[in-house]
Chains A and B, each alone.
Chain A
Amino acid sequence: MTDETAEGWFAGLDPADADAAAARIRDGEAAAAADWPALAVERGFATDTDDYYDRLHEATVAAARTGVRERELADDQQLIHAVRAMDDCDRTANELAERVAEWAGTRHDDAGTGVEYARELADSESAATDPAEVRLQSLAARVADLAAEADDLREFVTETTPTVAPNLAAMAGPVLAARLIALAGGLDSLAKKPSGTVQVLGAEDALFAHLRGSAPSPKHGVIYTHEYVRGTHPDERGSAARALAGKLTLAARVDHYGGERKPGLDAELDERIAVIRARTGDGSDDESGSEDDPADAGGGEDDPGVTGRD
């Protein structure tokens, strides 16, 4: 065993310095493995092999714990939880609102539907005395609270996304940008995806059906909620989706690898979409979809639980 190959994680470490040991596990490298336990004993880092393994255990656990915490606390990962929670709250509020409407229909002539009605019922002045009415109004109050939480989460996502991915947020709108990051599993994964994949993120079921040969290829996934896709004539939506996905991919890459704002990207996309829309003559050139939050209008059909696998 020669010394030039002998740069194990413990080289030059004070055996008592646990932090330094964990840092070395995380950041160190070596060209090749070596008989580290024997070397560590030989160098006096550990008294025997058992002692070495005890130290290694402590250091690897500490390193993994710190590494996990750091990666999970990263801004884009926190954003993913927020946007998924927002969708969960929206979906659950709607589902419970249906239950409230069904129940209220049996008790009130003027019963309405939806979250809006649940809010009304929860705010009603008349204090209920009938036990069933008490439960119904209480349930309606939960629906209103969940809907309010969804709104607060949406606000959080809207404020946070531009700090995580400024170009992507500007181009896609902050909510759609957050959904794309969530579907990819992170800004880094999104930045590494080809534009064709970004185009169909959120349409995994349709994509795999197509790949198995039983369906046409999906033209768009969650980016459908963007005005540049939804607002384009159906004949040209595929082109619009392709153009949008291409620029979104570039924006994600700029955000991940650089981070500075590049308004030129938005302008290029605006021009390209204008050209595409001119083919069917239904889009006006002065329409500026990039400043809208397109996901606000028609989002929610994506399944936040489905993520692409590569």
Chain B
Amino acid sequence: MTDLPSGVERRPFDGTERLATRGEPVYGEQTDGEWRAWNPHRSKLGAMLELGMDIGFAGGETVLYLGAAAGTTVSHVADFAGPTYAVEFAPRPMRDLLDAVETRPRLFPLLKDARKPETYAHVVEPVDVLVQDVATRGQAAVAVANAQFLGADGRLLLAVKARSEDVTAEPSAVFDDALARLEDAYEILETERLDPYHDDHLGVVATPKADR
């Protein structure tokens, strides 16, 4: 098991050790004082952490988060990371995300399409970590298009959802295709299926290719 980022701890909630960060609650999660439990069943990044993947977060990094949705995961990220840019294209979840943003002064909401990085490159600075959880077809292409935001030692933390690409294909075939496409811009460091937390999802840790 790799070290947890600073600002993330395993703490007992009703006798069970769970991941937790410090911040205002966002989605009705269990709290203990200022600590809030991070539910790996609702968060792919939480599942990657719970499964012991080496996500390369020490704490305090700048983050670009694609597919922030209602802020379940990105709120935890903002609790332990540095400046965090949260991209979400759908207005409804963004409305909820805006609540989470209120108590997090270094979490910046962007109502933008992650497939069009040029529409937020005038706002987002180069970041240490790119987290991606978008449920559209072409997830690997989105990660490739956004590789420009990552510094040389940066990390891509990606959850690939097989059913967003093709409901009929075998997940393993979908994952192979996605990884092949990712290699246009990234060197893959680690992959792991996110079961039992998320069915048919692959967690990927990657770093930008040196020769890109």
Contacts and interface: CB of A to CB of B under 8 A. Distances in A.
Nearest to A213: B168
A29 B91 contact: no
Contacts of B1: none
A60 B64 CA distance: 14
Interface residues of A, number: 35
Contacts of B59: none
B118 A31 contact: yes
Given A33-B121, A53-B105, A309-B164, A60 B92 contact: no
Interface stretch (B13-21, B122-130, B189-197): B122-130
A7 interface: yes
Nearest to B148: A32
Interface in A15-50: 24-26, 28-37
Contacts of B97: 64
Given A72-B92, A309-B135, A32 B109 contact: no
Given A31-B121, A37-B125, A68-B98, A310 B105 contact: no
B121 A68 contact: no
Interface residues of B, number: 32
Contacts of A64: 94, 97-98, 101, 109-111
Contacts of B121: 29-33
A35 B126 contact: yes
Interface string A94-117: 000000000000000000000000
B136 interface: yes
B106 A28 contact: no
Contact of A60 (B108, B125, B126, B164): B108
B90 to A, nearest CB: 9
A60 to B, nearest CB: 4
Nearest to B127: A33
Interface of B: 83, 91-92, 94-95, 97-98, 101-102, 105-111, 118-119, 121-126, 135-137, 148-149, 164, 167-168
